[in-house]
Amino acid sequence: MNKNKILIELEVPLIEKKYDLFIPINKKVGTVKSLIEKALIELTDNYYEIKEDTNLYSKDTGNIYDVNLTIRDTDLQNGSRIILL
């Protein structure tokens, strides 16, 4: 297992989908969010649209993840469930 990545469950209510993703722990939350959104555009044939006010939330606590923190500096770990909203 690669120790530089964690497996998370991503829920995207806008398109009513859930994905299991490996994300790098050494990247900022904002960078990971941008990469996820770009992938969603491709996966949905441009149905998903990037919006300025989109955030990543903890599904368990409802807290917003700070885009300036690295994934390593958050409470995200293998099995974490997050929402892109």
CATH code: domain of residue 80: 3.10.20.90
Per-residue pLDDT tens over the stretch 26-45: 999 999 999 999 999 999 99
Element at 34 (helix H, strand E): helix 29-43
Going from the C-alpha of 1 to that of each of 4, 9, 31, 70, the distances in angstroms are: 9, 17, 23, 20
Per-residue model confidence (pLDDT) at position 1 = 55
- Enclosing domain of residue 42: 5-84
Per-residue pLDDT tens over the stretch 43-63: 999 999 998 899 999 999 999
The total of structural domains in the chain comes to: 1
